[in-house]
């Protein structure tokens, strides 16, 4: 049985090695995409000498002047010197200078373009242009093969006898090995053992992105269908009181909304209608991808306080699972540590391909020599 697993592992590795290597290399490059794009955008801000960042109200006025409208979202950072974002829709955003309110054309565009290209190669093998259907199919298949390699690798790795002196040779790097073959054998087993869990999660989540059947399985596991009713928790309807006083500026209202969240990083403000009695906001103290670190709040615009309690993620179980899979693929669901682990797992993938090919070539040469003899 082990012989069957070995030759299956051998053949699959040779067939998919190039694709797995490319996905691993691009995965490493994408590790800190979010932070690097944000840094490039903020680097475009030039603070005038002695100037102070604009107030939230001034930024809201600038957003409206730039084409925003009530109902659009204005995203501000806890650091007032960082860029503000006007979101008119999912793919329609403008970056605003925090000192002047002007639209910053091209801020961070070079960095975004770089990561966009890397992402298209990572997902679709698209070295030029947009989505490449053939490349997407090849990468999707290679991802599944990578999963099969991990599982068959467990069978081959599994010690026949669980004795610590034997097991530790496959869990830790060894020094003083006599040749490259022995080193590569050791590296291959050790890295496969330690990176199995993150690589498995990356592969499973990648399959959900690549195949509709995998995506449907996620929803089916919770008795839902993609695009169907969310089935989330019902949110209590809170009666909106009439304004008893004058409408306050946005700054004190934002301060009131964020007061319970001392470590907040960004606030998304839904630009209100002029006569609106309330202000809707979303307070985020995570990295933007962690629903457990977000709360939606509503405050009265006369400053009288919160309307209802802060609301967390009300998505259905299937949507929560789908979102978790989306961001476990990059590690972002677990913050900087998760991103780093995902990046290290991708590095492990590179070394696994290298050592696997090295060992395979040596075996093929040995088989050829044996056949000649």
Residue 333 is given by DSSP the state G
The answer to whether residues 126 and 214 belong to one domain is yes
pLDDT tens, N- to C-terminus, the chain (373 residues): 888 999 999 999 999 999 999 999 999 999 999 999 999 999 999 999 989 999 999 999 999 999 999 999 999 999 999 999 999 988 899 999 999 999 999 999 999 999 999 999 999 999 998 899 999 999 999 999 999 999 999 999 888 888 888 888 889 999 999 999 999 999 999 999 999 999 999 999 999 999 999 999 999 999 999 986 555 555 555 666 677 778 999 999 999 999 999 999 999 999 999 989 999 999 999 999 999 999 999 999 999 999 999 999 999 999 999 999 999 999 999 999 999 999 999 999 999 999 999 999 999 999 888 887 6
Contact present, 284 and 294 (Cβ < 8 Å): yes
Print burial letters for 171-204: b (CB count within 10 Å at least 16), e (below 16).
eeeeeeeeeeeebbbbbbbbbbbebbebbbbbbb
Q: Are residues 146 and 276 in the same domain?
A: no
Residues 95 and 128 in one domain: no
How many CB atoms are located within 10 Å of the residue 205 CB?
Answer: 21
Q: For residues 44 and 176, what is the distance between their CA atoms, to the nearest angstrom?
A: 51
- What pLDDT score was predicted for residue 373? 64
pLDDT computed for residue 2 by the predictor: 83
Same domain membership, residue 286 and residue 142: no
Answer whether residue 321 is part of any domain.
no
pLDDT at site 222: 95
82 lies in which domain range? 45-105
Q: Which residues partner with 266 through β-bridges? A: 77, 284
338 occurs within a structural domain:
yes
Query: Is residue 310 located within the same domain as residue 181?
Result: no
Whether residue 38 lies inside any domain: the answer is: no
Note whether 14 and 70 are same-domain residues: no
pLDDT for res 238: 61
Cβ burial, residue 253 (10 Å; 0-12/13-18/19+) = buried
Indicate whether 178 belongs to any domain: yes
Shared domain for 208 and 339, answered yes or no, is yes
Domain count, the chain: 3
Q: What pTM does this model have? A: 0.91
Model pLDDT, residue 228: 67
Q: How far apart are the C-alpha atoms of 299 and 218, rounded to whole Å?
A: 36
Backbone angles phi, psi at 57, to 5 degrees: -60, -40
148 and 25 together in one domain: yes
Among residues 105, 123, 151, which one ends one of the domains?
105
Asked if residue 124 is part of any domain, the answer here is yes
Determine the length of the chain.
373
In a domain, 319, yes or no: no
Residue 331: count of CB within 10 angstroms of its CB: 24
Same domain, 130 and 196: yes
User: 237 lies in a domain?
Assistant: no
The percent of the chain in helix, strand and coil, each rounded to the nearest 5, is 55, 10, 35
Q: Are strands 278-284 and 294-300 parallel, antiparallel or unpaired?
A: antiparallel
Q: Is there a single domain that holds both residue 264 and residue 197?
A: no
What pLDDT, on a 0 to 100 scale, did the predictor assign at position 237?
58
| Single residue among 314, 345, 360 that ends a domain in this structure | 314
């Amino acid at each position: 049985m082990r012989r069957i697993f070995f030759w299956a592992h051998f053949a699959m590795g040779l067939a998919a090695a190039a694709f797995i290597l490319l996905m691993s290399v691009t995965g490493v490059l994408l590790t800190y995409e979010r932070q690097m794009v944000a840094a490039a955008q903020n680097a475009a801000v030039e603070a005038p000498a002695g100037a102070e960042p604009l107030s939230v109200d001034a930024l809201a006025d600038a957003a409206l002047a730039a084409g925003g409208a009530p109902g659009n979202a204005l995203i501000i950072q806890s650091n007032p010197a960082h860029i503000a974002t006007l979101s008119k829709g999912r793919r329609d955003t403008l970056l605003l200078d925090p000192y002047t309110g002007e639209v910053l054309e091209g801020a961070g565009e070079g960095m975004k373009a770089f990561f966009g290209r890397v992402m298209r190669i990572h997902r679709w093998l698209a070295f030029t242009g947009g989505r490449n259907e053939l490349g997407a199919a090849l990468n999707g298949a290679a991802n599944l093969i990578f999963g099969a390699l991990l599982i068959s690798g467990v069978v081959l790795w599994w010690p026949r006898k669980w004795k610590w002196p034997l097991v530790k040779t496959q869990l830790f790097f060894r020094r003083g090995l006599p040749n490259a073959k022995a080193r590569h054998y050791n590296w291959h087993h050790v890295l496969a053992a330690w990176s199995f869990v993150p690589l498995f999660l990356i592969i499973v989540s990648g399959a959900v992105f690549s195949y509709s059947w995998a995506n449907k399985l996620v929803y089916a596991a919770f008795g839902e269908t993609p695009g169907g009713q969310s089935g989330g928790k019902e949110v209590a309807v809170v009666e909106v009181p009439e304004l008893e006083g004058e409408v306050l500026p946005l700054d004190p209202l934002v301060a009131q909304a964020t007061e319970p969240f001392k470590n907040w990083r960004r606030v998304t403000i839904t630009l209100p209608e002029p006569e609106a009695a309330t202000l809707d906001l979303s307070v985020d103290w995570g990295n933007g991808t962690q629903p457990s670190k977000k709360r939606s709040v509503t405050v009265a615009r006369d400053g009288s306080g919160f309307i209802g309690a802060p609301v967390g993620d009300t998505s259905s179980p299937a949507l929560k699972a789908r979102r978790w899979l989306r961001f476990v693929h990059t590690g972002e669901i677990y913050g900087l540590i998760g991103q780093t682990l995902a990046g290290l797992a991708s590095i492990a993938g590179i070394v696994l391909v290298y050592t696997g090919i090295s060992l395979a070539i040596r075996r093929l040469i040995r088989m050829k020599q044996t056949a000649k003899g």
